[in-house]
Amino acid sequence: MSQAAHPCGVIFLDKPKGWTSRKAVNHIIHSFAKPEQKNRKQRPKAGHAGTLDPLATGMLPILIGEATRFASMGLNAEKSYMVTLDLSFQTNTLDLEGEVLARYLDISIQQQAVEEVLDTFRGVIQQTPPAFSAIKIDGQRAHTLARQGQDVHMQSREVEIKALHFVALEANLLTLHVDCSKGTYIRSLARDIGLALGCGGCVTMLRRTSSGGWPEQCMVTVEELEEKKETCIVPLQVWLRDLPELVLSDIDAKRFVQGQRLSLQFDLLKAEREKVLCRVTHADVMLGTAIYDVAKHILQPERVMPSAQEKLK
């Protein structure tokens, strides 16, 4: 079966609690696989655009078919979360899945103190990822080494907390809204906020509400997916909505899918850089993406859709 026969686009799955991101991807593959597609090579490809911990729920963009070539658009996107942390204890995993390392009794923290601490975490900060994470150290996942009892040293890195808002403080439970850059670990943020308050910061609830600016309304549950299937797929062109669209003629479209550089003049008034990543189409068919040199008027194919190559050969 050709790739063109497979569905293509993105599903904004509302990932259930307890599921790994890999399990969510596998569920999508099995949902769209047909009975005659008995081996893995025949089934549609799928991949996610930004891991969610098993404890977490919420938006997990899963790309299917040829759209998997454009997962980086989600991996590099900003994310939004609602998180609840328990200030009375901390675990080795920084969430409820781990072993309790410390307890903090007789906590008496007011909203004003929380607001003052939150202000120190807004903007660009240095953050140390959790030892229980998928980051690789000498070729092995950090969480694998941590579970083996090894001393895992994580390098701090720069992330940006674009927004951090107080939502509620009920007994020992602090709930926050976070907008952040790629690579931000909310468990680490919760840990560090707790430390700044002089107490724990164990994540008890984490929900991703947005990825790349896509609203919560885009999400579909596992149950809705089973009922609607294809109607849950957002077309690839919509997924690439932030890229300028360049429309090619019949002749130029055929040359493009052959991988040829094209000398063409397009008016990209909003271009802030000399070279711009664009989505390229022909007759409402997605051909792929390309780098357009605004000064030299050269269009260089970056990723070409195999289905477009087959259609225009």
Radius of gyration of the chain (CA): 23
Per cent of the chain over pLDDT 90 is 71
pLDDT tens digits along 52-85: 989 999 999 999 999 999 988 888 899 999 999 9
Residue position matching structure tokens 């658009």: 73
Q: Which two tokens stand for residue 49?
A: 């655009």
User: Within a 10 A sphere around the Cβ of 208, how many other Cβ atoms?
Assistant: 25
Residues ≥6 apart with Cβ < 8 Å to 150: none
Distance of CA 243 to the CA centre of its chain: 18
Work out whether strand 298-304 and strand 275-282 pair parallel, antiparallel, or are unpaired.
Answer: unpaired
Task: Give domain 79-211's CATH architecture.
Answer: 2-Layer Sandwich (3.30)
**Residue 16, by phi and psi: left (phi above 0), alpha (psi -120 to 50) or beta?**
beta
User: Within a 10 A sphere around the Cβ of 25, how many other Cβ atoms?
Assistant: 21
pLDDT tens digits along 258-294: 999 999 888 765 656 788 999 999 998 999 999 999 8
By residue count, the chain amounts to: 313
Lowest mean pLDDT among 66-80, 204-218, 239-253: 66-80
Record the pTM: 0.89
Q: Which of 170, 169, 167 is nearest to 178 (CA)?
A: 167
The pLDDT of residue 143 is 79
The pLDDT of residue 39 is 67
Helices and strands, counts by H and E, the chain? 9, 17
> What's the average model confidence in pLDDT over 151-177?
94
Q: Which of 102, 100, 12 is nearest to 57 (CA)?
A: 12
pLDDT value at 167 more than 90? yes
pLDDT value at 303 more than 60? yes
> Active-site residue 267, yes or no?
no
The pLDDT of residue 268 is 67
Q: Where in the chain is the domain with CATH 2.30.130.10?
A: 243-312
Average pLDDT over the chain, rounded to whole? 91
Determine the Cα–Cα distance for residues 137 and 131; give it in Å rounded to an integer: 10
Contact of 166 with 106, CB cutoff 8 Å: no
Q: What is the 3-state secondary structure (H, E, C) of 31-98?
A: HHCCCCCCCCCCCCCEEECCCCCCCCEEEEEEEEHHHHHHCHHHHCCCEEEEEEEECCEEECCCECCC
Which one is catalytic: 53, 86, 95, 192?
53
CATH number of the 243-312 domain: 2.30.130.10
The pLDDT of residue 4 is 46
Q: Where in the chain is the domain with CATH 3.30.2350.10?
A: 79-211
Q: Which two tokens stand for residue 203?
A: 């994540």
